Amino acid sequence: MRESVPMKVVAALSGGVDSAVAAARAVDAGHEVVGVHLALSASRETHRVGSRGCCTLEDARDARRIADVLGIPFYVWDLSEEFRREVVDDFIAEYQAGRTPNPCIRCNESIKFSAVLNKARGLGFDAVCTGHYARIENDQAGGLVLKRGVDPKKDQSYVLGVLSEQDLSQSLFPLGDSTKDQVRREASERGLLVADKSDSYDVCFIPDGDTGAFLRSELGDQPGDIVDESGAVVGEHQGAFAFTVGQRRGLALGDPADDGRARFVLSIEPINNKVVVGPRESLAVQRLDLETAIALKDVDPDGIEVQWRAHGSPAAARAVINDHGVVDAVELRDVAYGIAAGQELVMFVGDRVVGSARIRSAAR
């Protein structure tokens, strides 16, 4: 653990149990804590629908009550414009380009640890405290490293892999050493009323979880063909943007394939509005090219693990070092299925995050 000197801290309070306990621990650690709830949706309507998103009215109220119980000041910061621009618009544009974005990573990267952190710094605060399950520790060289949270079911190091060392130096994750069960028990002992509140899993700005319907409402219907690998038309769709590589459900293909096997989305061709489908083995990939190059420090490139989904299992891989001495691709030891361009690839050595970059393309 890092040494704990008293700081002025903004605790982001989502209204959920994790951020509540994180803020409580920051108070106990002697920090001067101010609670802030982020209003991320400009539309007052969406505050009323959806029970588990990040930005319902109920969550704002819960956040306020948590601050009352902790005896800390509480404010709502309206970052709806930034959220729309940096997260929602990016989400739509990525799907439109046939890619698969992770909006929670974008939100961490450009809202929670950028806009919020910068605003907090400007207002005289030292750090932002959140309820993420990840650990920040000193490495031997005196720098800071991000490590997996100790609860493997809740570990959120994947969605925080994008944070820079400077971001980490201004962040507090008080839950990294705890399990969710411990956190719930502590919330209950502390009298925090949200101890039994259910976790949120959905994309917060799509409360009903129907990403396709959300994208169609934003972009309008754009009918086109679903084709097989030979180019033969096997169905139609209402917008190629609504599909994800590896997707199996919701293709609504009338006739089964000739061989009777299940078909998956293999690729999305936004320019000619085509969705290509085929058998699962055609999804197999082993080489992942990255959008940004990563410099690995004191890491054996042959011995890393990578993860491309928030709750996926890590896969053994080799980092490919290019002529400039940086990593711009990885090779998986075993083939993997259904990896899409736009997904974030996070590299680990043991439980330590060593790099993070978006996947540009995946190949056999």
Partner 1 sequence: MSYLDHAATTPMRPEAIAAMAAQFGDVGNASSLHTAGRRARRVVEESRELIAGHLGASPSDVVFTAGGTESDNLAVKGLFWARRTQDPQRVRFLTSAIEHHALIDPLMWLGTAEDAQICQVGVDPNGRLDLEALAELITHDPDSVAAISVMLANNEVGTIQPLLEVVAMAKAHDIPVHTDAVQAVGQLDIDFSCLGVAAMSVSAHKLGGPTGIGALLLGRSIEPTPILHGGGQERNVRSGTLDVPAIAGFAAALDAAMNDRVERNARVSALRDDLIARIQRAVPDAVLNGSPILDEANRLPNNVHFSFPGCQGDALLMLLDAKGIECSTGSACSAGIAQPSHVLLALGASQTAARSSLRFSLGWNSTQADVDAVVESIAPAVERARLASGTLIDHA
Our answer to whether residue 204 is catalytic in this structure is yes
Our answer to whether residue 107 is catalytic in this structure is yes
CA–CA separation, 241 and 269 (whole Å): 9
Closest approach, Cβ 152 to partner 1, in A, equals 34
The DSSP output letter for 57 is H
Cβ nearer to partner 1, comparing 32 with 289: 32
Let me know: does 287 contact 249? Beta carbons within 8 Å. Answer: no
Closest approach, Cβ 50 to partner 1, in A, equals 15
Cβ nearer to partner 1, comparing 48 with 261: 48
CA–CA separation, 146 and 176 (whole Å): 10
Instruction: Kindly tell me the sign of the dihedral angle through the C-alpha atoms of 119, 122, 123, 128.
Output: positive
The single residue listed with the structure tokens 């750090």 is: 127
CA–CA separation, 154 and 135 (whole Å): 12
Q: Please name the helix (run of DSSP H) or strand (run of DSSP E) that holds residue 315, with its range, or none.
A: strand 315-321
Roughly what angle, to the nearest 10 degrees, separates helices 211-219 and 89-96?
90
Cβ nearer to partner 1, comparing 22 with 36: 36
What is the torsion angle, in degrees rounded to the nearest 10, for the CA atoms of residue 190, residue 192, residue 197 and residue 201? -90
Closest approach, Cβ 76 to partner 1, in A, equals 4
Cβ nearer to partner 1, comparing 58 with 305: 58
Cα 268 to Cα 100, 204, 256: the distances in Å are 10, 25, 20
Binding interface with partner 1 (CB under 8 A): 34, 37, 39, 44, 47, 57, 60, 64, 73, 75-78, 80, 82, 85-86, 110, 114-115, 118-124
Instruction: List the structure tokens of 210.
Output: 């129907």
Closest approach, Cβ 353 to partner 1, in A, equals 24
Closest approach, Cβ 111 to partner 1, in A, equals 9
Cβ nearer to partner 1, comparing 112 with 237: 112
Q: Is 30 exposed, middle or buried (0-12, 13-18, 19+ CB in 10 A)?
A: exposed
CA–CA separation, 288 and 361 (whole Å): 6
Catalytic residue among 55, 104, 129, 204: 204
Closest approach, Cβ 210 to partner 1, in A, equals 25
Cβ nearer to partner 1, comparing 37 with 135: 37
Active site residue ranges? 107, 204
